Amino acid sequence: MNKFALTIHGGAGTILKKNMTQEREASYRKGLEEALKAGYDLLEKGASALEAVLAATVSLEDNALFNAGKGSVFTNDGRQEMDASIMDGKTLMAGAVAAVRNIRNPVQLAYAVMTKSPHVLLIGKGAEEFAGQNGIKTEPDEYFFSQFRYDQLKKMQASGKAALDHNVSADDKASSSETTADRKFGTVGAAACDRYGNIAAATSTGGMTNKQWGRVGDSSIIGSGTYANNKTCAISCTGYGEMFIRAVAAYDVSCLMEYKGITLQDAMNVVVNDKLVKLEGDGGMIGVDATGNAAMLFNSEGMYRGIKNSDGLNEVGIYRELLK
Ligand code: ASP
């Protein structure tokens, strides 16, 4: 039996301990642990890497703390448009959606694109119509609305910029009226290796606060935000999407492994701490290889992340050091 492993992220950015309350930290920890459990329990029962990344990502999408599904940020016209993708390292099949609205779990729609259509990427209205035809769950606008995210949008509009949501909040000390549940950060993703030696990755996001509506980030671009190939690695990224697209970040890790013969950790280090830094591509990524090795790297202050494997490793982290 192959060693199996699941790693997840809930977004990277300027996430500092000094801006975090104990209560908030505990909520994130719980969210990360729940997502790890959702995916890892499946791996333990013999499910595929693909099923595990789907379950872990759905758990994070349903958690309003993270910027995906329910917790998605606002576009510049005050709506949510979500991007997601998934890839199977065994078959190199992939599915993705971009700029979709009212979809409860965009990663499930990406999975449906992969398994029920001849296409890889569907966008906007066409993707939503496809969702309807395939029984994908939708939710009304209210499901995605939160006052905190709306306030974040107003703040970004005043500055005329778009931002990673964790960075908007980091500048911004929690106001006294703000509750734990109001502070929501982070694109989400998962990468897994199953007991059969197959790997897969998935990513889902609301994108960047105050993004131009219609903007598509790296999370739905196969090769940039998500990539999986049994020969090399499965990767899910988070960070400044435009730079991750320009760096073709996830595929670059795979190429370094394939053509230079270097390890997952070393390849991720080149992309995250050298290539992306040179492009001012703030963020990070998680990944696995087909022997069950996993890595979680970021060039920002922090990244919500977790890892669980069949050797008994079970860790979550937010800041540079892992949580005790
Ligand atoms: N990469 C995402 C995007 O640019 C944002 C994030 O990772 O938080 O849409």
Report, as an integer, the average pLDDT of 228-232.
98
What's the mean per-residue pLDDT of the chain?
92
Q: How far is the CA of 195 from the centre of ligand 1 (A)?
A: 30
User: 278 pLDDT band (50/70/90 cuts)?
Assistant: very high
Q: What is the mean pLDDT of residues 106-124?
A: 98
Residue 247: which pLDDT band, with cuts at 50, 70 and 90? very high
Q: Is the pLDDT of residue 172 over 60?
A: no
Among residues 7, 57, 75, 187, the one annotated as catalytic is 187
Which pLDDT score is estimated for 53? 98
CA of residue 180 to ligand 1 center, whole Å: 22
Q: Which residues pair with 203 in a beta bridge?
A: 85, 189
Q: According to the model, what pLDDT value does residue 165 have?
A: 64
Residue 276 has pLDDT above 90, yes or no: yes
Q: Decide whether any atom of ligand 1 lies within 6 Å of the 217 Cβ.
A: yes
Q: Confirm or reject: Cβ of 205 under 6 Å from ligand 1.
A: yes
Q: Which of 28-37, 156-165, 230-239 has the lowest mean pLDDT?
A: 156-165
Q: How far apart are CA 215 and CA 292, in angstroms?
A: 35
All structural domains of the chain with their residue ranges: 5-323
Which residue, by CA, sits nearest to atom 8 of ligand 1?
187
Instruction: Specify the pLDDT at position 169.
Output: 52
What pLDDT does 79 receive?
A: 92
Q: Does 91 qualify as catalytic in the annotation?
A: no
Residue with tokens 């709506």: 79
% of the chain residues with pLDDT over 70: 93
pLDDT in the model for residue 181: 31
Q: How many A from CA of 95 to the centre of ligand 1?
A: 18
3-state SS, residue 217: coil
- Is residue 14 within 6 Å of ligand 1 at its C-beta? no
Is any atom of ligand 1 closer than 6 Å to the C-beta of 187?
yes
Indicate the range of 38-52, 138-152, 187-201, 263-277 predicted with least confidence. Answer: 138-152
Cβ of residue 197 lying under 6 Å from some atom of ligand 1? no
Ligand 1 pocket: which of 9, 168, 208, 242 to mutate (most atoms <8 Å of CB)?
Answer: 208
Which DSSP string corresponds to 45-99?
A: TT--HHHHHHHHHHHHHT-TTSSSGGGPPPBTTS---EEEEEEETTT--EEEEEE
296-306 residues labelled b (16+ CB within 10 A) or e (exposed): bbbbbbbbbbb
Q: Using most ligand atoms within 8 A of CB, pick from 66, 168, 218, 242 the residue to mutate for ligand 1.
A: 218
Supply φ then ψ for residue 323, to 5 degrees: -75, 145
Q: How far is the CA of 251 from the centre of ligand 1 (A)?
A: 17
Q: Give pLDDT, residue 167.
A: 63
pLDDT of 231 above 80: yes
SS3 assignment, position 192: strand
Q: DSSP label at 273?
A: I
* CB of residue 71 inside a 6 A radius of ligand 1: no
Q: Kindly report the pTM of this predicted structure.
A: 0.93
pLDDT average, residue stretch 225-242: 97
pLDDT digits (tens, 9 = 90+) for 50-83: 999 999 999 999 999 999 999 999 999 999 999 9
Which residue from 61, 66, 56, 50 is spatially nearest to 10, judged by alpha carbons? 66
Residue 186's pLDDT is: 79
Say what percent of the chain tops pLDDT 90. 82
Q: Is residue 210's pLDDT more than 80?
A: yes
* Ligand 1 atom closest to 67 (CA): 8
281 lines ligand 1 (CB under 6 A): no
Fold of the domain built from segment(s) 5-323:
Glutamine Phosphoribosylpyrophosphate, subunit 1, domain 1 (3.60.20)
| Cβ atoms 205, 69 nearer than 8 A | no
Distance CA 174, CA 191 (A): 32
